[in-house]
Amino acid sequence: MKFNSIILLPNIVKVFSILFMASLLWMGWITGAPDARAGVTSTGITLTPVTSQVLPDDPKTTLTTVVVNLAPEAKTGSHRHGGMVFVYVLEGTVRSQLNSGEIIEFHPGQSWSEPPGTVHSFMENPSRTVPARLLATLITPTGEQLTTYD
């Protein structure tokens, strides 16, 4: 049987990413970012900061990771982020719309990214009973506001 490592690479990357983030949570490397404080918002969204670290080779750039929990039927208003965002769906279903474009439904294992300047027009957990959970990684200029609501 021929072994095809190219097919396995995306799965290895996903597994490594999940294990890395889980280890950060387990070790307690939870630090607060300016606008990524833990707690439940009035919209049913809980933010759990995982880490916020200025990059050692580029002090003008900060990498921040946050677990976003969406209660059933939780939604966000229009907002934007201070830099590049990568989002990975851990659990549940999430509907997302960028720049007033198509509303796309994402499931566990799927992801999207938001380049700088993107308007996140809409995001919701459409389920009436099942929560959703995301892992969001933001790469922003150091000191920049992470999220600004329109």
What pLDDT was estimated at residue 29? 35
Domain containing residue 130: 31-149
Residue 117 covered by a domain: yes
Check: CB of residue 102 under 8 Å from CB of residue 61.
Answer: no
pTM of the model: 0.73
Residue 17 covered by a domain: no
What pLDDT was estimated at residue 39? 52
Residue 10 covered by a domain: no
Tell me the CATH number at 91: 2.60.120.10
Q: Which residues are within 8 A (CB) of 135 and not within 5 positions of it... i.e. 6 or more apart? A: 17, 21, 50, 65, 66, 67, 68, 87, 88, 90
Residue 138 covered by a domain: yes
Residue 23 covered by a domain: no
Query: Distance (Å, rounded) from C-alpha 142 to C-alpha 146?
Result: 10
Strand 119-124 and strand 94-98: pairing? antiparallel
Residue 129 covered by a domain: yes
Total number of domains in the chain: 1
Amino acid at site 121: S
What pLDDT was estimated at residue 148? 86
Residue 89 covered by a domain: yes
Residue 135 covered by a domain: yes
For tokens 């600004």, the residue is: 148
Q: Give the pLDDT means over successive 10-residue stretches in the chain (150 positions).
A: 46 42 38 43 84 96 97 94 96 97 98 95 96 97 89
What pLDDT was estimated at residue 41? 55
